[in-house]
Structure 1
Amino acid sequence: MKILFIGARLFDDIALYAKKERITSVLTESNPDSKNLELADIQYVVPRGMEKPKEIALKEDVDAVVPLIGIDKPLIEVSMLKEDLENNYGIPVVASPLDTVITAGDKLKTKEFFIKNEIKTPDFNKFSKNHSKIDLPVVLKKFEGQGGSGVKIALTPSDLEECIPYFEESFAEKFVEGFEISIEVLRWNNKTVPLVPVCKGKTTLDCTHPLDKLKTAPLNIESVNNEYIKETAKNIADLLGSQGVIDIDIIFDEKEEISYFIEINTRPSGTRYLTAASSDINPLNELVDMATGKWKSKNVLKRLKEYYALEIPMGDYKTDKNNYKFRNFHDENCFVIHGPEKFQRITIRSTSMQKAFDTANKLNIDYKKFY
C-alpha cells in the first residue's frame, strides 16, 4: 500500500503508525527545512498549492492521499484536488468535499447552516457603521480566519468605532461567558463516529487562545450533557457530508446553561492529543485506516476507552522525548510531550483526573497559573 501524505508538519504524529501498517509513505512539503520530511520513505519538496502533489500522486501511482493540513487557507484547493483525483483517477482522498469546506470555511455560512438546521448558536448581526443597537461586549468576526485571527472582542463603543475600518466584512456575535468546548468527529463511507468532548477552558475578554490554557477531557461540567454534544456533532457531520475528521467548536453558557455551536473546522484539530489520551482513538491514525480501506465505524466504537486527560502549556521543556518515537499513549498512566519550540505542551493520561494532576506535580509542572 502506498499513500501520499500532503504536509509534513503533522506527519511525525503518524509516521510510526504508517510503518506499523507497512505503508510506503510519500510525503510532499513546501518547507525544505521541515524535520519531518526524513520520516517518510519518499520525500518531495514542492511549491505551495496542490498542482505538484497531484502530479506526484500520479507519478508514484499511490493508492490514496491523506492531506495533513492544519490550517484553513489551503483547504479549498485540497477539496478540489479530492474531486479531481477521485472522479478522474479513482484515487481516494481522505478530506472533506468542496461544499463542506466552503460552508465551514466561511463563518457567516456556518452561522446560516446552524440556523437553517435549528442548531443553537449565539445571536449575531452583520457588522456595519450603523451599530447603535449592538449590546456590549460583543465578538466581531471576519468571515474567514482561524486561531483567533480575524476576531476581536469589543468592550466599549470606542472599541466598535476603532474596528469599523478593519471589520467591514464581518458580523457581530453575542459574547458568551462560559467554557470553550471542542469535539472531533470521524466520518467515512457515510458512517460517523463523534469522539470525546474536550474542555478548552473558560472564555476570556482578551481572546486568550486555547493553546495557552489548561485543557481537560472528557468534558466534566455540571449541567452539560456530553451525549447531547456528541449527538449534535454527529448530526452536523452528517448534514455537511464531511469526510475524514472535522473539529467542532462550542461554548457552554454558564448563566443560560446552553451549549452554543460556534464553528466547524474541516481539518485535524489542535485537541487531537487530548482526544487520543482520553479515548484511545488517535484521529490521525484513523485517517490512515480510511485511506487503506481498513476503517470501520463499529471497530472504532469497540476500541473507545474512557481515560482522563490533562493538557498543559509548557513553553520550553527540556526533554529528548518530543519526537515521533514517543507520540503514543502506551498505557493507562502516561504522558506525551509535543509541539514546536517555545510552544510545547504535555498531555497526561490517567485513570482519574486527580492522578493526572498528581503526575503533573511529580514532573514539577506549574499548572495552577492556567486556572
Structure 2
Amino acid sequence: MKILFIGSRLFDDVAYYLNKENITSIVTESNENAINLDLADKKYIVPRGMDKPMEIAIKEDVDAVIPLIGIDPPLSEVGKMKDTLEKENGIPVISSSFYTANLAADKYNTKKLLQKEGIKTPTFRQLQEPYDLENLEEQLPIVLKTPEGQGGTGVKVAVNKEDISEFLNEKNNIFAEEYVEGFEVSIEVLRWNNESVSLCPVYKGDTTLEGIHPLRKIKQAPLNIDGIDNKKHNNDICILAEKIADLVKVEGTMDIDILHDNKSNNDYVIELNTRPSGTRYMTAATTDIYPLCQLVDMAKGNWAAKQVKSKIKNYCSAEIPVGDFPENQKIPLNKVFEGPNSYIVHGPQHYQRVTIRAEDRTNLNDVTHNLLSDYSKKNNIHFN
C-alpha cells in the first residue's frame, strides 16, 4: 500500500506505524528545511497549495492521501482537493470535505449552526459600524473575535475600554461573545464511513482574563469534575461530540473546543477544527488510541468505530510545558507510550512539552515529580 502525506511536521507521529504496517510513504512539503522529511520513503518539495500534491497523488497512483496539516488556513483548499480526487480519481482523502472545512474555518457561521441545532454556545452577536462602545463597555469582560483565527489569534478577552478600542481598530468583521467563567475542554472525534467515535475530554485549564495561550497551560485527563465520569465513554461530552461530528459530516478527525461554565454547569461549544488536535498526545496517553495512526487505518479500509471503542483504555495523564526537556532525561525515540507509566516529549526546542501517562492520579503525581522534580517543585504541581 502507498499513502501520500501532505506536510512533514507531524509525520513522526505516524512514521513508526507505517514501518510496522509495511506501508510505503510519500511526503509533500513546501519547506525544504522542514523536519521529518527523511522519515518518508519518498519526498517532494512543492509550492504552497494543493495543486501539486494532487498532481503527485495521481502520478504516483497512491492508494490514499492523508493531510497532516496542523493550521487552519489551508484546510478549505484541502477540502476542495478531497472532493476532486475522490470524485474524479477514486483516491480517498482522509480529511473533511470543502463544506465541512469551510464551515469550521468560520467561527461565526459555526456558532450560528450550533445555535440553530439547539447546541449550547456562548451568546454572541455581530458588531456593526459605527460601534456602540458604551454598550460594549457595559458588558465587560467580553470576548471579541473575528470569524477566522487559530490558537488565540483573532481573539481578545477585553477587560477595559482600551482593549475594546485596540481590537476594533486593528480588526474587521468582528463579533462579540459572552465571557464564560470556567475551564476549557478539548475532545477529539474520529469519523469515517458515517461512523463516529469520540475520545477523551481533555482539561486545558481555567478561562482567564489574561487570555493565556493553551500551550502555556498544564492539561489533564480524564476530566475530574462533578457530573462527569470520563471513564465511561457515554458521558455527556462524548455524546455531544459525536452528535456534532455527525451533524457537520466530519471525515478523518476533528477537534472540538468547549467551555464548561462553573456557575451553570453547562458545556458551551465554541469552535470546531477539522485538523489534528493539539491535545492528540493527551488523547493517546489517556485512551491508548493514537489519532493520526487511526487516519492510516481509515486509509487501509479496516477502520470501524465499534472496534476503536473496544480498545479504549483509561489511564490518567498530564501535559506540561517545560521549555526544554531536562538534558539528563532520555527522550523516547518514537512518540509512543511504553507501558502504563511512561511519557513522550514533543514540540520544538525551547517550546517543548512532556505528556505523561500513569495508571492512576497517585502514580501520575509520582511519575511527574520524579521526571521533572525541579519544575514540579517550582510550580507546586499536584493532580487532583
Per the normalisation by structure 1, the TM-score is 0.97
What displacement does 1:223 show?
3.8
Q: What corresponds to 1:177 in structure 2?
A: 181
What is the 5 A alignment of 1:331-370? 331-363=339-371, 364-367=373-376, 369=379
Contact residue 223 and residue 229 of structure 2 kept, 8 A: no
Contact residue 16 and residue 334 of structure 2 kept, 8 A: no
Distance across 2 between alignment mates of 1:365 and 1:299: 41
Answering whether residue 223 of structure 2 is matched by residue 219 of structure 1, we say yes
Gapped runs of 5+ residues in structure 1? none
Counterpart of 1:98, as a letter, is F
Contact residue 82 and residue 95 of structure 1 kept, 8 A: yes
Distance across 1 between alignment mates of 2:211 and 2:162: 18
Distance across 2 between alignment mates of 1:277 and 1:208: 24
Gapped runs of 5+ residues in structure 2? none
Distance across 2 between alignment mates of 1:111 and 1:342: 35
Q: What corresponds to 2:108 in structure 1?
A: 108
Distance across 2 between alignment mates of 1:50 and 1:223: 44
Go from structure 1 to structure 2 and tell me whether the alpha carbon gap of 1:302 and 1:35 turns closer, same or farther (over 3 Å shift).
Answer: same
Counterpart of 2:272, as a letter, is I
Distance across 2 between alignment mates of 1:94 and 1:240: 16
- 1:47-71 Cα deviation digits (max 9, x unpaired): 1101110111111110000000000
What displacement does 1:5 show?
0.4
What displacement does 1:225 show?
6.2
What is the 5 A alignment of 1:18-167? 18-128=18-128, 129-134=131-136, 135-167=139-171
- 1:140-199 Cα deviation digits (max 9, x unpaired): 011100010011111112322232222331111011111100000000000000000000
Distance across 2 between alignment mates of 1:184 and 1:365: 32
1:326 to 334, 345, 351: 334
Q: What corresponds to 1:235 in structure 2?
A: 243
Contact residue 140 and residue 167 of structure 1 kept, 8 A: no
Answering whether residue 260 of structure 2 is matched by residue 258 of structure 1, we say no
Aligned residues: 370
- 1:121-147 Cα deviation digits (max 9, x unpaired): 101121241243331100101110001
Contact residue 126 and residue 174 of structure 2 kept, 8 A: yes
Q: Which moved more, 1:123-132 or 1:336-345?
A: 123-132
Distance across 1 between alignment mates of 2:76 and 2:229: 34
Contact residue 321 and residue 337 of structure 1 kept, 8 A: no
Contact residue 213 and residue 370 of structure 1 kept, 8 A: no
Counterpart of 1:366, as a letter, is Y
Q: What corresponds to 2:209 in structure 1?
A: 205
Q: What corresponds to 2:308 in structure 1?
A: 300
Distance across 1 between alignment mates of 2:191 and 2:258: 19
Go from structure 1 to structure 2 and tell me whether the alpha carbon gap of 1:216 and 1:75 turns closer, same or farther (over 3 Å shift).
Answer: same
SS in 2 for 1:232: helix
What displacement does 1:224 show?
4.2
